[in-house]
Amino acid sequence: MSSSVKLFRDQSYQELKEQCLQQGRLFEDPEFPASDESLYYDSSAKGKVEWKRPKDLCEDPHLLVDGISSHDFHQGKLGNCWFVAACSCLALRKSLWQQVIPDSKEQEWDPKNPKKYAGIFRFRFWHFGAWTEVVVDDLLPTEDGELIYCRSNVRNEFWSALLEKAYAKLAGSYQALDGGSAAEALVDFTGAVAESISLAEGKYGEVISEQMKLFEDLMKVHKRGGFISCFVSESAGRPNEAETEMGLIVGHAYSVTAITKLRLGERLLFSFKAEKLFMIRLRNPWGKKEWHGAWSDSSEEWKKVSDSERKNLGLTVENDGEFWMTFEDWCKNFTDVDICRTVNTSYFSLHKTWEKEMMFGAIPTALLSPLSSQYLFDVKKAEDKVLVSLEQEDRRKYKKEGKGDNITIGFEILKVEDNRRYRLHKLTVQERVATSPYSNTRSVFLRRALQRGRYILIPTTFIPGVPTAFILRLYTDVPSKLRELKADRPELTCWSLLCGYPRRVTQIKVHSAEGLQKQDGSEGADPYVLIKCENQSRRSAVQRGTTSPVFNTQVIFYRKDIDSPVTIQVWSSNLLRDVFLGQAVLAASPGEPRQQRRLRLRGRGGGEAAELPGHISITALSSDDLAEL
Q: Which residues are catalytically annotated? A: 81, 252, 284
Contact of 137 with 107, CB cutoff 8 Å: no
Helices and strands counted in the chain (H then E): 11, 29
Q: For 114, left (φ over 0), alpha (ψ -120 to 50), or beta?
A: alpha
Q: What is the CA radius of gyration of the chain?
A: 31
Reference 281, options 216, 206, 228; nearest CA is 228
Q: State how far the Cα of 444 lies from the Cα of 307, in Å rounded to an integer.
A: 43
Q: Which residues contact 545 (CB under 8 A, 6 or more apart)?
A: 522, 523, 524, 525, 526
Reference 10, options 25, 27, 38, 30; nearest CA is 30
Q: What is the dihedral of CA 345, 350, 351, 355, to 10 degrees?
A: 30
CA 102 to chain centre: 25
Name the packing angle between helices 81-90 and 182-190 (round to 10°): 40
HSE, CB side, 13 Å, CA atoms: give it for residue 295: 21
For residue 84, give the H/E element and its range.
Answer: helix 81-90
DSSP 518-549: P-TTSS---EEEEEEETTEEEE-PPPPS-SS-
Sheet harboring 579-586: ordered strands across?
536-539, 527-533, 566-572, 579-586, 597-602, 611-623, 504-514, 550-559
